[in-house]
Chain A
Amino acid sequence: MFDNEYFNLGYLDTLSYRDTVIHRLDPRAKLIATLLFIVTVVSFPKYEIAGLLPFFLFPVLLFSLADVPVKFILKKVLLVSSFAVFIGIFNPVIDRRTVYYLLGVPVSGGWISFLSIMLKFSLTITSALLLIATTSFPGICHALQKLGMPEIFVSQLLFLYRYLFVLTEETMRIVRARDMRSFGNKGKGMKAFVHLVGTLFLRTVERAERIYQAMLSRGFAGRMHSVRSYRFTGGDAAFVGATTAALYLFRTHDIVGAIGRFSMRVF
């Protein structure tokens, strides 16, 4: 499980350096569009189902245009669904009013609001993962800084991301060594854990001192610089504009109802 998490992290990072239409967009444009999308989806009332369906167009477009492996992302979405399911599953238990008959089978309000929560969950989580699969993390940090996040927080994120891989590899070695020396649950208690984490901490502090010295010798004076420069082009503006317009249309118009009525009239 540990190795798997690490692999996923690295894989998402690799995905983000591909070169497609979506990858080439400015990180700011993608971040803003994603946030707008999430807020719009979440703004639907509790019992909404039909209105949420057209929104699946956005992840599907991103999946296909950016060539992101669908299975990989969906697996990750399933993995983190526990809290939303855990809280949402109480809706059908508590809200038992029958509000609707589906082909003669009574459906309670609770199941409808639960389904609504699950739809919102898959839309929001998928879009967040798609953002990181199509945008490099330093790019997102850059966008955050341009959008007004304090510099120290952004440099903190960059540092954390850079050393994440180093420290997880070190931790993987430590955990593997512990697991090889412990049988069953013996040796996996809190005492051993505290010593492992303590040692890891001391090594980390020493590493930080070395890093600082290395930075100083390369002329560090309190600021982090980036070589790559991003430009917010007309294409990026068009992307944000089109997304906003589509979101507004989907939010305010009953697309599903209209298509349903239209098709009923045709056939």
Chain B
Amino acid sequence: MHMADALLSPAVGATFWAGTIGTIGYCARKLKENMDEKMIPLMGVLGAFIFAAQMINFTIPGTGSSGHLGGGMILAVILGPYAGFIVMASVLTIQAFFFADGGLLALGCNIWNLGVYPCFIAYPLIYKALVRVDSSPKRITVAALISGIAALQLGAFSVVIETLLSGRSELPFRTFVLMMQPIHLGIGIVEGFVTAGVINFIRSSRPEIIDSAASGRPLSSGTPIRKVFIGLLIVAALTGGALSWFASSNPDGLEWSIAKVFGKPELPEKETGIATALKSVQKRTAFLPDYDFKKPEAAAKGNGRSSWPAVQPGTSVSGIVGSALVLAAVLLIGLIIRALRRKSA
């Protein structure tokens, strides 16, 4: 599943971008410290490999529908978490650009959902805990299955959280979770089996590739992973707060959920600078009464500023006429430029 731009609010999108960029930077530093130059082409070509392997479909036993590979777990197992994460991030970046899977703002969320969970949670906490260098194929299958399921469940849950915080969708939490998690349980099981199959295949033909990853590039001991997470959370919270002024005068989902948590519509001291400027401009350009539509109860308790949920679809005829004119003008501009270019060419 790919998160989509249209379902995100700027604050949520920026928060996850901050987390993703932080993780990329952290991995890049880690790799720089102890990297074999040989890894650079290997990582690049393996990214292309994951991309190509995702294009091969197969029949899922018992259902007749077809599935394909996700790849996060395979990368973490073969390359270790840092390089695996960078490769996964680059695969998703190319997909976002060329297939428009999700979009550019949602890319931060997508890298987080499909990269961080397999590489930094499922791999070190589940897979590495279960598998030793001399583990049997059966044990590897079990480990890959559990970690594959765990990674996808976390990713799916993350999509739910991102969507709810953004507040563009009406889906209630319970329904959404009950919809997403079972679907991704199925996908996770398939992903786990495929991951296990490929890892066992590689181990039987070129065991040294996997063994070097397992022994040579372990997560450094101690607690850095926890430190990274706490650091990321702080960065995320700060950026989220700093960027939520983007949300403008009408509270978006994040503010709405903040309102639920704190009982206040917005965090204090947030409305400075551009937010106030935006608001005053908006007030000055004044929606005429016949254009502005407020729900009666919203208007009653509105006290000058529109309260949640403020619906301003443009009720009067002038709104509809304006919309039609704008669209026509936009189209006309395009056609004129095209015609001019044809003429000059």
Contacts and interface: CB of A to CB of B under 8 A. Distances in A.
Contacts of B89: 153
Interface in B287-304: 287-288, 291, 293, 295
Nearest to A94: B170
A56 B330 contact: yes
Contacts of A50: 312-314, 319, 322-323
B94 A157 contact: yes
B209 interface: yes
B19 to A, nearest CB: 15
B197 A190 contact: yes
Q: Secondary structure of the A side of the interface?
A: helix
Nearest to A77: B100
Interface stretch (A41-49, A225-233, A234-242): A41-49
B61 A49 contact: no
Contacts of A104: none
A17 interface: no
B8 interface: yes
B98 A168 contact: no
Interface in B1-23: 1-10, 13-14, 21
A16 B193 CA distance: 39
Nearest to A161: B94
What's the interface size class on B, roughly? Answer: 35 or more
Q: Secondary structure of the B side of the interface?
A: helix
A47 B316 CA distance: 16
Interface stretch (B101-109, B121-129, B218-226, B260-268): B101-109
B322 A88 contact: no
B58 interface: yes
Interface residues of A, number: 123
B318 to A, nearest CB: 4
B114 interface: no
B100 A80 contact: yes
Interface in A94-116: 94-95, 97, 99-100, 107, 109-110, 112-113, 116
B64 interface: yes
A253 B49 contact: no
Nearest to B12: A42
A45 B250 contact: yes
B333 to A, nearest CB: 6
Among A12, A42, A254, the most chain B Cβ lie within 10 Å of the Cβ of: A42
B194 interface: yes
Given A156-B87, A158-B44, A160-B48, A124 B55 contact: no
Contacts of A137: 94, 97
A246 interface: no
Given A64-B337, A193-B56, A194-B197, 7 more contacts: A67-B341, A112-B313, A117-B7, A160-B94, A164-B94, A166-B48, A261-B322
19 contacts: A35-B105, A38-B5, A38-B104, A39-B246, A88-B7, A94-B172, A117-B168, A124-B105, A125-B5, A156-B47, A159-B43, A190-B58, A191-B197, A201-B202, A202-B206, A207-B45, A222-B37, A257-B288, A258-B322
Q: Which 3 A-B pairs have the closest CB atoms?
A: A159-B44, A260-B322, A198-B201
Interface of B: 1-10, 13-14, 21, 24-25, 28-29, 31-32, 35, 37-38, 40-49, 51-53, 55-61, 64, 66, 69, 86-87, 89-91, 93-94, 96-105, 163, 167-172, 175, 190, 193-194, 197-198, 201-202, 205-206, 209, 246-248, 250-253, 278, 281-282, 285, 287-288, 291, 293, 295, 309-323, 325-327, 330-331, 333-335, 337-338, 341
